[in-house]
């Protein structure tokens, strides 16, 4: 799939997600509509239980709607098998998590190489691409360090390098500053802004922190399973 800078990269059409039945029934999303264009930097915000994490799981093909349709680059994913969704994740999405999710006994370089191994990229090419990705996040000099030898901010930079090494269509960041102090959080958000502007990477960030959401160009606010509001930021933070 390829997209242009002005095209819709992902789109929710009346997406609902329901868990459980009867008295245990929970409606996590209720007929939600929105789209994100290629090259945008979007923050999805809301309190715990608002539906923002469920939306991210569907965006990343980790879950499927109960009703409605989720489209990627104009193509409906309705009826996709688990294997097809896995292939979409592998080739279109880069994930960044609050807890970093790095392998503890492997180096930064080896952690960044992992998505390329799943793609069957040859070892020499993997190393070249991984070093380039680490260089983009300012950690080329730390390629041989294990996570235990890195600060929290450095670990998150490794996770971001791992997310961008495959040049994905979209980067999904789930509370990427949740485990970081305020100074390091600002540095990580500045990095996301740079990747968005310099690489044209589409960034979608889930956060409950309004200060972090201010770095995005557009904000989607969720409440009780509904898209309560969406708005453009006139002046997003300039912490580059």
Task: Locate the domains of the chain by residue range.
Answer: 8-232
The 8-class DSSP code of residue 147 comes to G
User: Is 53 within 8 Å of 26 (Cβ atoms)?
Assistant: no
DSSP assignment of 71-109, as one string? EETTEE-TT--HHHHHHHHHHHEEEEETT----TTS-HH
Looking at CATH, the fold of the domain delimited by 8-232 is given as Rossmann fold (3.40.50)
Q: Per-residue pLDDT tens for 41-79?
A: 999 999 999 999 999 999 999 999 999 999 998 999 998
Distance, CA of 149 to CA of 141 (rounded, Å) = 13
Q: Per-residue pLDDT tens for 180-221?
A: 999 999 999 999 999 999 888 899 999 989 999 999 999 999
Question: What's the pTM value of the predicted model, to 2 decimals?
Answer: 0.90
Q: Per-residue pLDDT tens for 140-179?
A: 999 999 999 999 999 999 999 999 999 999 999 999 999 9
Determine how many CB atoms are found less than 10 A away from the CB of residue 15. Answer: 25
Residues 6+ apart with CB under 8 A from 42: 36, 203, 204, 205, 216, 217, 218, 219, 220
């Amino acid at each position: 799939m390829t997209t242009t800078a002005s095209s819709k990269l992902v789109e929710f059409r009346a997406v609902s997600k329901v868990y459980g039945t009867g008295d245990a029934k929970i409606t996590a999303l209720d007929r939600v509509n929105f789209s994100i264009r290629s090259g945008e930097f979007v923050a999805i915000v809301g309190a715990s239980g608002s539906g923002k994490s469920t939306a991210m799981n569907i965006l990343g093909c980790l879950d499927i709607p109960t009703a409605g349709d989720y489209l990627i680059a104009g193509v409906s994913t309705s009826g996709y098998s688990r294997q097809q969704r896995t292939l979409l994740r592998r080739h279109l999405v880069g994930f960044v998590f609050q807890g970093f999710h790095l392998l503890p006994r492997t180096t930064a370089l080896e952690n960044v190489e992992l998505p390329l191994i799943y793609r069957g990229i040859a070892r020499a090419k993997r190393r070249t691409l991984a070093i380039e990705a680490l260089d983009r996040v300012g950690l080329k000099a730390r390629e041989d360090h294990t996570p235990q030898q890195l600060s929290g901010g450095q670990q998150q930079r490794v996770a971001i390098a791992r997310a961008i090494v495959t040049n994905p269509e979209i980067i999904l960041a789930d509370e990427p500053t949740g485990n970081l102090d305020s100074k390091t959080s600002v540095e990580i958000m500045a990095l996301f802004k740079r990747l968005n502007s310099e690489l044209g990477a589409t960034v979608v960030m889930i956060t409950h922190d309004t200060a972090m959401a201010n770095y995005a160009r557009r904000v989607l606010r969720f409440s009780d399973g509904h898209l309560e509001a969406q708005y453009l930021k006139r002046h997003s933070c300039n912490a580059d």
